[in-house]
Amino acid sequence: MSSSFSFRGTATALVTPMHTNGEIDVDSLKHLVEFQITNGIQALVPCGTTGESATLSHPEHHHVMDIVAGQANGRVPILVGAGSNSTREAISLTQHARAINADAVLSVAPYYNKPTQQGFFEHYKAIADAVDIPIFVYNVPGRTGSNINAETTLRLAELPGIAGIKEASGNIPQVMEILRHRPKNFIVLSGDDALTLPMMALGADGVISVVANEIPSLFSTMVQLCLKGEFENARNIHERILDLMNLNFVESNPIPVKSALAMMGIITEAFRLPLTPMSLEHKFQLRRALDELSLVEHGV
């Protein structure tokens, strides 16, 4: 069955800008939202992995949701990160997303407690039963320690309220199985920038992207070319930005992307422990990749 929510394109997994004292930098967050929208991004995703949701308190989580939704002001859809390894907590975060009229939520698979496949199914079913909002499952076993297999994803796709999945397993055969058997309106989004082009060649609908923080216009152009079937032109962009996409994960996300945005003059380079600043060696490599794209101290 799946949700009636419809989306094709690029959604940016927003960083959460901070001051050097660790507090949320509201002005920079608003500026980042404007930078994204004016450069043609199709949706915004605050409070996800890239937004350091693991170290945001619940009031801060709500605050970031409110800022992004308010600044966007209906110009693009907002898919709020609202996941937890506690089903009750995930429901609570999803209820707040519904209260601020978010368009959908992105709900990470429960981590650390490593549910069975039936546990994954019951977790998402409980959220969908409790809150009337489109839900995107987020499968990222490299972070959570457990994989939601294709069979479970396809079971979830039949539930009202489950709109789609952000697939970041890196398992192309698994993605192919989902794409092959999904219901008509079930949305499949890449959760890995470097795999976006191949996944879209197989039929995926778009991406929730890290690199779009830095290059919203260029990356969105690549995705739109994929949607039009112009894969040779899309591949030219993919090859041009591949070094930057890879360097965004040379250290734990969002360390590199926040460092890059600071070099571009968009945010201050600040993190919350246990995340720490990027090594000088990696920072040099990142600066070189940004220079090659003419991104330092200005965005495109």
Secondary structure (3-state) at 84: coil
pLDDT per position as a tens digit, 137-165: 999 999 999 999 999 999 999 999 999 99
Query: Hey, where are the domains in the chain?
Result: 9-230
Asked whether the bond before 17 is cis by omega within 30 degrees of 0, the reply is: no
Q: Rounded distance, CA 269 to CA 16, Å?
A: 11
Report which of residues 2 and 215 the model is more confident about: 215
Q: Quick one: tokens of 238?
A: 């993919």
Q: What is the helix (H) or strand (E) element at residue 167, kind and residue range?
A: strand 162-167
Q: From the candidates 124, 138, 258, 283, give the one annotated as an active-site residue.
A: 138
pLDDT per position as a tens digit, 266-293: 999 999 999 999 999 999 999 999 999 9
Q: Rounded distance, CA 167 to CA 73, Å?
A: 28
Q: From the candidates 166, 184, 258, 283, give the one annotated as an active-site residue.
A: 166
Superfamily of domain 9-230: Aldolase class I (3.20.20.70)
Position 299 scores a pLDDT of 45
Reported confidence tier of residue 4, pLDDT bands at 50, 70, 90: confident
Residue 103 DSSP symbol:
S
Reported confidence tier of residue 297, pLDDT bands at 50, 70, 90: low
Does the annotation count 138 as an active-site position?
A: yes
% of the chain residues with pLDDT over 70 = 98
- The predicted model scores a pTM of 0.94
Secondary structure (3-state) at 114: coil
